Amino acid sequence: IAKMFMAHFAEIELDTETGEVKIVKIVAVHDSGTIINPEVCENQVAGGALIASGFALSEDLVWDRKTGRVLNPNFLDYKILTALDTPPIDISFADVVDPVGAFGVKAIGEGSVCPTLPAIGQAIYNAIGVRIDAPFTPEKIIRALKERGRESL
């Protein structure tokens, strides 16, 4: 069993006129046991955070409900983040030796994707006071702001 514990936090800028979200910074704290190769581990966490940032902000498979066919099967229509979208990522590791794992290590790779999307979603909620489903596209944010505005009337 691969145990791992992690927490990610996201700082964003959100334009309430356009619905655009910019990730300003991600803070990632991981308990992955004894870190044998820090550079590889930092790259795993950074890569996971960036993959999840794409899931959070832009990646959305569009399906034809009748045929099950993917309607955006290319990178022209299925938007992924690029190097220009990469925010600074502050990565820290807790030094907690796992008594069960070989050499005191724990897992790090796949789990590094998990906490980033909710961190971005929470940052958006903190900014606009509305929860929406990922991906957190500008269209969804504008729609949520309009619905919130109607409810407050």
Q: In what order do the strands lie in the sheet with 21-31?
A: 5-14, 21-31, 89-94
C-beta of residue 76 within 8 angstroms of C-beta of residue 12: no
Annotated catalytic residue 17: no
Q: Is 146 exposed, middle or buried (0-12, 13-18, 19+ CB in 10 A)?
A: exposed
If residue 29 lies in a helix (H) or strand (E), which one and from where to where?
strand 21-31
Rounded CA-CA distance 110/125 in Å is 26
Q: Are strands 5-14 and 21-31 parallel, antiparallel or unpaired?
A: antiparallel
Sign, Cα dihedral of 124, 24, 56, 78: positive
**Vertex 24: Cα angle to 20 and 26 (nearest 5):** 120
Catalytic residue among 11, 17, 59, 110: 110
Which residues are designated catalytic? 110
